[in-house]
Structures are given as C-alpha cells and as structure tokens.
Amino acid sequence: MLWKKNKKSSLTMVVVLSFAFLFLGCGEADEYATEGNDSMEYDTQSEEAKVELTFNEPMSSEKENESTGTEYAEGFNRKIIYNGQVNMEVKDFAAIQTKIRDLTHLSNAYILHFSEEETSYEVGGNYTIKVPAQGFHSFLDSLEKMEPIYMQKSLTGKDVTEEYVDLASRLSAKQVVESRLLAFMESAQETDALVEFSNELERVQGEIEVIKGRLRYLDSNVSFSTIDLRVYEMLDDQATKRTEDESLLERASDAMKDSFSFLSQLFQGIFVFIAGAIPIIILLALVAVPTWIISMRTIKTSRQQKKTNNKS
C-alpha cells in the first residue's frame, strides 16, 4: 500500500512539473516571437522610409499646434492692436499744432502723416500718430486737457493673440524642418536627392520669412497704437469776408487774364494766317499783274484803232 501511495504521489509530481514547464515554455516562446517580430519590422524599414517619417513629424506637430492655438492663447499675454479716431475743434489751430508736436515728443510717439488744409470757413490739419501702447490712453487724456471747443473720439481694439500664437507655432515647426533639411543635405550623396532637398529647403525658408514678416508687423502694431487726429479752427466773420473779398479779386484777375489771353491768341492766329497766305499772294500777284498789264495794253490799242477808223 505504501508503495502504491508513493507511486501515485510521484505521478502527480511529474504531471505538475510537466504543466509548469509547458507554461514556462509557451511564455518564453511568445516573448521571443514578439521580440522577433519587432526586430523584423524595424529591419524591414528602408532608409528612405525612416527619412520620410522623420521629415513628416514636424508637419504633424504644426497641424496640432494650429488646432490648439486657441488653448495656447488663453495662457498667453494678450496682444491687442488699438486704434483711435479723434476730431477736435479748437480756438487757435496754430497754438494747438505746437502743443501736439510737444506732446508727441514727450510721449515718445511720432507723426506718421500730416496734411494741412484751409477753406473759406475753416483751417485745420489731419494727423496720423503712432503712440506707444502703454501711453495710448494717457495721450488721449492729454488731448482732452487742451480744452477743445468740441471733441469726438472713438476707440477700437483688435485681439491678435490667437493669430500670433499660431504663427509662432508654425515658425517653430518650419525651423525644425529647416534644420533637418540642412542635415539631410550634408549627408546626401546622390545629386537628385541633393537637388530635391535644396528645392524643399528654399520653399520652407520662404515660408519662414513670410511668417517672420507677419510677426514683425503684429509686434509693431501691438507696440505702437495708431491715432487718427483731425484738428480744425472755424474762421470768424471778418476772416470769412476777407477771404471772400480776396476770392472776388482773384476771380476778376483771372477773368482779365483770360481776356488778354484770348486777344493774344486771336492776334497770333491772324498773324499766323497772314504769314501762311503770303506765298499764295505772291504767286497770285506774279500771275495776275502781267495779265492785267497785257489786258490794259490790248484795250488801249483797241481804242486807238477805233479812233483812227472814225477819223478816216
């Protein structure tokens, strides 16, 4: 009985050990198969496929950055372009001009455009002033302190934060592509590949310059706000009358000048006509004078013959 029990226990141990070795072998086989497949998949990738994968990676990053531009903008310093339009009626336009120049200098601003105009009822000027963004509102307050007779102003702001963030993300992605293309060109050995990389590099660098230009434009307009300012002075009655009198004299003087000009042109026309007709007159005279002399002699001879016949 004891021998039978030992035999049964031995068989049980053999069966258990067999199953254990079986499971261990399957696990190692699966792990080996997995490692082998990964190795085979890696080895079957050609060098060209690797280059294409590396080259396209920044493009996908660029698209991802463009899609999440709004999310980045939320944590970004807001970039606002401010514009102001101001109309001011003043008592003394010349004095206000001096104050505007002084204010522009003290505010570290600059006049981008200026034009002056004067009519029969007002004199004034139009300014386009670029003001540092941090001093935009204080500049407008200083204009109000000039005590204008009438003032109208409107302010607008354009938020370009999202566009700026998108451009910055695109620029970063393009610069990664540029660096990789430069590396490919250094390692390229075939002429066709070098030409292809060179053409692609030229295109990417052109896009980089466009993006940088747009970023510079946004930075400039964000840093300096724009104020379109119109300042004018209404002229008094005497000035208006004097202007009207001067206008009347100018119209009379212009009328006289037109009359003299007409007479001058008339005499010039007559002189030109006579000068052009002189050759024709001379030609007619050369033909007509001998004909007239001959005809007069013929008539005279005919009369003398008649008289002689009558006497006889």
7-40 pLDDT tens trace: 444 444 444 444 444 443 444 434 433 333 333 3
Rounded to 5°, the CA angle 157-158-160 comes to 145
Contacts of 148 (CB under 8 A, 6+ apart): 88, 89, 90
pLDDT for the residue 241 = 54
Separation of alpha carbons 303 and 197, rounded Å = 117
SS3 145: coil
Length of the chain: 312
Q: Burial code of 50-65, b = ≥16 C-beta within 10 A, e = fewer?
A: ebeeeeeebeebbeeb
Indicate the pTM of the whole model. Answer: 0.48
SS3 188: coil
Separation of alpha carbons 200 and 182, rounded Å = 10
pLDDT for the residue 245 = 59
Positive or negative, the Cα torsion across 167, 169, 170, 176?
positive
Q: Which of 113, 106, 102 is nearest to 135 (CA)?
A: 106
pLDDT for the residue 275 = 78
pLDDT tens across 261-272, in order? Answer: 878 888 787 877
Q: Which residues, given as ranges, of the chain have pLDDT below 50?
A: 1-75, 238
